[in-house]
């Protein structure tokens, strides 16, 4: 048998595959794309069916030379790049560079890097799928046309260095629209009225909340919109005991979530692990390509990570069910094979993200993984196991109690059987246990008297929708059909890097620059920032992938009217000046310019308005609640340049000690010291919950915390 060459994208993937193929195979890596459109010119002939002009990417000459040498020494070449549009396009470019006929059986793909999957792929090679290649090519050309023609217009009309993109611009609009909705929100007053009651024979008290009024024997659910309405309800029931008019008991089941797609993995990693979307994809890529596992060698731990499919292979289902029975017991295995449906057939090409080696539980290989790798692998492992576990069973009870013609209600639920929650707790209801404790109901019967221990009213106001976080923005992109699984993370990173949006804690908000750019595009290029238009374009790209649309025809429909708009806008749009926010101070360095607030890569800063004649800058002092634990002065928040804008805190040095050198990544807890070592305490956040921790990393309390968390993992 002659020598065979297998080409993949990354060296890590090459090393992993090398474990499964014999000495007759040589494995090498292209290290990503080898050809692309030129950066200095359009690179697309719009007059000849949008023919792209590809060139060898900078730094890839030596890679191509090595690939050619290895190919000439081999009897056959397999191109084993990733199983998606991007991977198919890389395979086509490699075939072009090596003068391999794309219609020859040179292409192999696998959804997971396991011995079985790799062997099966080698035994059934296929042609390069030109529908997938054309779908990627159409996206690349489309994005190039939009960016290449819009960006110079932004430079001319707003400021140099700006850019626009087909997906990034509409994503920035989502953020702007949400921020505008919040700004325009008018709070409405409402009142909550509640009573503390107990059953006559019970000491245990519980809370019931106002539901509505009984009029002519019928319940009218009322919203209390002012104090007068709340006071009427309070006066009607004050000093009166309640009668349990209805006690409904039941059981309900809660089923597990589907397995992870790219989008849901990014959302959950953000919520549970506080990972950015970029970090999630970087760590997931490592798990997919392979990690050196003690006693195992280079091993891929999860299936392909760029997918919007929730399909699971039969083999993976059966493996997981065996694991569930062994770890949790037979009653925890779902009595039937649970499957999940995709929205459309195009998603069925891949599987969901899942473990690939069911003999490598996260705890068993923890010592071989970096902390972030372990956290993400465990998240994927637990989520996948839960999909084949029994439903959680809950007892429910709903009580309606009446007094003075007013009806109050209490609802509670208790977990009878945890089912899948034993492996994958629902953090969206992380306070459910606390809520159930506060509304835990005694055994009640209809007609029973409930002693009234007091009624109170509380004024509330409706809240605006929350600003987007990375998790909720990705969810919005997915729901609106903006981008694909592989583009969510880079799109968000791009609009952050271009300072069209900024992070305020975990929230993403539009910047003044982002608002100016988005508004200009909205006013003059409606379709570019139109959600439905962008979603429709994604559908057309999907149809190119399935062979139902011609990629040149799609571009021919889009480009002429877009190009016409560009020419008209160049003539009609007036220069837009971004007014810097003034501080009212004169520059201390030149004495002439006024200090203004500018937006930089790492957030806002103060600069002289005479730039570039005067280069004076200084950081904006942002005060935070709390006191310096060393000298008792105030605290300032800063953005770290080294750590990509992460916040840190220092003493404001305005107290008795101007030389105080306090600095911390965490905000100190005002007036609280560690009971173990006497050091100051800091605020930390885990899964959305705030807690306090000793700032001294060597404190025994932190060591106990670490030991406990490791025990919990086990």
Q: What's the CATH number where 488 sits?
A: 1.10.460.10
The pTM (predicted TM-score) of the whole model is: 0.81
Looking at the fold, whether 701 and 656 belong to one and the same domain comes out as: yes
Count of CB atoms within 10 A of residue 240's CB? Answer: 14
Looking at the fold, whether 369 and 279 belong to one and the same domain comes out as: yes
Residue 708 — very low, low, confident or very high, per pLDDT cuts 50/70/90? very low
Give mean pLDDT, residues 496-524.
92
pLDDT of 268 higher than 70: yes
How do residues 529-548 score in pLDDT, each as one tens digit?
999 999 999 999 999 999 99
- Given a contact cutoff of 8 angstroms between Cβ atoms, the answer to whether 191 and 225 are in contact is yes
Residue 516 — very low, low, confident or very high, per pLDDT cuts 50/70/90? very high
* Domain-terminating residue out of 406, 434, 461: 461
* Domain-terminating residue out of 326, 353, 387: 387
pLDDT of 656 higher than 90: no
- Domain total for the chain? 6
Specify the higher pLDDT residue, 440 or 140.
140
pLDDT of 430 higher than 50: no
Per DSSP, the three-state class of 657 is coil
Looking at the fold, whether 475 and 550 belong to one and the same domain comes out as: yes
Residue 502: give the domain boundaries: 149-184+469-572
For the ranges 151-165, 240-254, 551-565, 616-630, the lowest mean pLDDT is seen at 616-630
In 195-246, alpha helices (H): 227-237
289: nearest Cα among 38, 82, 73: 82
Cα–Cα dist 218/695, whole Å: 59
Look up tokens 């792929």; give the residue: 121
- Amino acid 689: pLDDT: 61
Three-state SS string across 303-352, please? CCCCCCCCCCCHHHHHHHHHHHHHHHCHHHECCCCCCCCCCCHHHHHCCC
Looking at the fold, whether 115 and 170 belong to one and the same domain comes out as: no
Looking at the fold, whether 241 and 272 belong to one and the same domain comes out as: no
- Amino acid 183: pLDDT: 94
Tell me the CATH number at 102.
3.40.50.140
- Amino acid 431: pLDDT: 37
- Amino acid 683: pLDDT: 86
- Given a contact cutoff of 8 angstroms between Cβ atoms, the answer to whether 483 and 149 are in contact is no
Give mean pLDDT, residues 324-339.
96
320: nearest Cα among 256, 367, 261: 256
Q: Which residues are known to be catalytic?
A: 304
- Amino acid 197: pLDDT: 95
pLDDT of 196 higher than 90: yes
Give mean pLDDT, residues 500-506.
89
Give mean pLDDT, residues 438-452.
85
Q: Is residue 134 a part of any domain in this protein? A: no
Looking at the fold, whether 349 and 440 belong to one and the same domain comes out as: no
- Amino acid 577: pLDDT: 81
Residue 405 — very low, low, confident or very high, per pLDDT cuts 50/70/90? very high
Share of the chain above pLDDT 90, in %: 73
Looking at the fold, whether 562 and 474 belong to one and the same domain comes out as: yes
- Given a contact cutoff of 8 angstroms between Cβ atoms, the answer to whether 397 and 411 are in contact is yes
Phi, psi of 86 (to 5 degrees): -65, -45
Give mean pLDDT, residues 305-334.
95
Residue 673 — very low, low, confident or very high, per pLDDT cuts 50/70/90? confident
pLDDT of 714 higher than 60: no
Per DSSP, the three-state class of 373 is helix
- Amino acid 686: pLDDT: 63
Looking at the fold, whether 291 and 382 belong to one and the same domain comes out as: yes
In 452-573, alpha helices (H): 470-479, 488-497, 512-524, 531-545, 551-572
Run of H or E including 709: helix 700-713
Looking at the fold, whether 585 and 609 belong to one and the same domain comes out as: yes
- Amino acid 505: pLDDT: 81
Looking at the fold, whether 280 and 369 belong to one and the same domain comes out as: yes
Could you tell me which residues are beta bridge partners of residue 335?
A: none
- Given a contact cutoff of 8 angstroms between Cβ atoms, the answer to whether 233 and 224 are in contact is yes
How do residues 73-114 score in pLDDT, each as one tens digit?
999 999 999 999 999 999 999 999 999 999 999 999 999 999
Q: Is residue 533 a part of any domain in this protein? A: yes
* Domain-terminating residue out of 564, 592, 619: 619
Separation of first and last alpha carbons in the chain: 48
- Amino acid 693: pLDDT: 87
- Given a contact cutoff of 8 angstroms between Cβ atoms, the answer to whether 33 and 93 are in contact is yes
Residue 645 — very low, low, confident or very high, per pLDDT cuts 50/70/90? low
């Amino acid at each position: 048998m002659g020598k065979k060459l297998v080409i993949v994208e990354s060296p890590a993937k090459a090393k992993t595959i090398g474990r499964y193929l014999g000495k007759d195979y040589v494995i090498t890596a292209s290290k990503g794309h080898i050809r692309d459109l030129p950066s200095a010119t359009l690179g697309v002939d719009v007059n000849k069916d949008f023919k792209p002009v590809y060139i060898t990417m900078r730094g890839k000459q030596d890679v191509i030379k090595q690939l050619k040498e290895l190919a000439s020494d081999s009897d056959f070449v397999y191109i084993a790049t990733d199983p998606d549009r991007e991977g198919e396009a890389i395979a086509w470019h490699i075939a072009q560079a090596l003068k391999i006929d794309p219609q020859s059986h040179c292409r192999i793909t696998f959804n997971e890097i396991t011995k079985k999957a790799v062997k099966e792929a080698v035994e059934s090679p296929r042609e390069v799928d030109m529908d997938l290649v054309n779908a990627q090519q159409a996206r690349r050309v489309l994005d190039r046309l939009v960016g290449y023609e819009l960006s110079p217009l932004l430079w001319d009309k707003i400021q140099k260095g700006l850019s626009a993109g087909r997906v990034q611009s509409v994503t920035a609009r989502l953020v702007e629209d949400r921020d505008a909705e919040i700004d325009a929100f008018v709070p409405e007053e409402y009142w909550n009225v509640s009573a503390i009651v107990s059953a006559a024979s019970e000491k245990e008290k519980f809370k019931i909340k106002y539901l509505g009024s009984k009029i002519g024997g019928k319940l009218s659910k009322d919203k209390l919109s002012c104090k007068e309405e709340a006071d009427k309800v309070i006066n009607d029931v004050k000093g009166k005991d309640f009668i349990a008019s209805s006690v409904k008991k039941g059981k309900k089941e809660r089923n597990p979530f589907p397995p992870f797609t790219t989008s849901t993995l990014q959302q959950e990693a953000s919520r549970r692990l506080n990972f950015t979307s970029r970090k999630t994809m970087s760590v997931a890529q490592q798990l997919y390509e392979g990690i050196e596992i003690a006693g195992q060698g280079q091993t891929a731990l999860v299936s392909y990570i760029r997918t919007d499919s929730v399909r699971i292979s039969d083999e993976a289902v059966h493996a997981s069910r065996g694991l569930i029975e062994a770890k949790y017991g037979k009653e925890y295995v779902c009595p039937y094979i649970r499957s999940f449906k995709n929205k459309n057939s195009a998603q069925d090409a891949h599987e969901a993200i899942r473990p690939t080696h069911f003999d490598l539980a996260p705890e068993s290989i923890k010592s071989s993984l970096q902390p972030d790798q372990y956290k993400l692998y465990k998240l994927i492992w637990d989520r996948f196991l839960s999909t084949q576990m029994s439903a959680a069973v809950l007892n429910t009870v709903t009580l309606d109690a009446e007094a003075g013609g007013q009806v109050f209600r209490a609802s509670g639920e208790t977990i009878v059987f945890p089912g899948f929650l034993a492996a994958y707790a629902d953090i969206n209801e992380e306070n459910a246990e606390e809520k159930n404790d506060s509304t835990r109901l005694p055994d009640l019967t209809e007609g029973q008297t409930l002693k009234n221990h007091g009624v109170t009213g509380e004024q509330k106001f409706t809240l605006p929708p929350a600003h987007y976080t990375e998790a909720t923005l990705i969810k919005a992109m997915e729901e609106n059909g903006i981008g694909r699984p592989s583009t969510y993370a880079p799109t968000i990173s791009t609009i952050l890097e271009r300072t069209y949006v900024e992070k305020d804690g975990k929230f993403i908000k539009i910047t003044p620059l982002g608002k100016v750019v988005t508004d200009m595009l909205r006013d003059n290029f409606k379709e570019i920032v139109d959600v439905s238009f962008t979603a429709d374009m994604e559908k057309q790209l999907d149809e190119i992938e399935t062979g139902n649309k011609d990629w040149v025809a799609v571009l021919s429909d889009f480009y002429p009217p877009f190009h016409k708009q560009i020419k008209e806008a160049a003539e009609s749009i007036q220069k837009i000046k971004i007014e810097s926010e003034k501080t009212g101070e004169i520059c201390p360095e030149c004495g002439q310019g006024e200090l203004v607030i500018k937006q930089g890569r790492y957030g806002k800063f103060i600069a002289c308005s005479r730039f570039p004649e005067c280069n004076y800058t200084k950081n904006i002092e942002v005060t935070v609640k709390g006191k310096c634990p060393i000298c008792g002065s105030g605290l300032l928040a800063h953005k770290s340049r080294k750590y990509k804008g992460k916040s840190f805190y220092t003493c404001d040095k305005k107290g008795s000690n101007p030389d105080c050198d306090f600095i911390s990544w965490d905000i100190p807890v005002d007036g609280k010291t560690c009971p173990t070592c006497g050091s100051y305490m800091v605020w930390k956040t885990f899964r959305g919950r705030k807690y306090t921790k000793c700032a001294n990393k060597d404190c025994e309390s932190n060591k106990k915390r670490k030991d406990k968390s490791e025990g919990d993992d086990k």
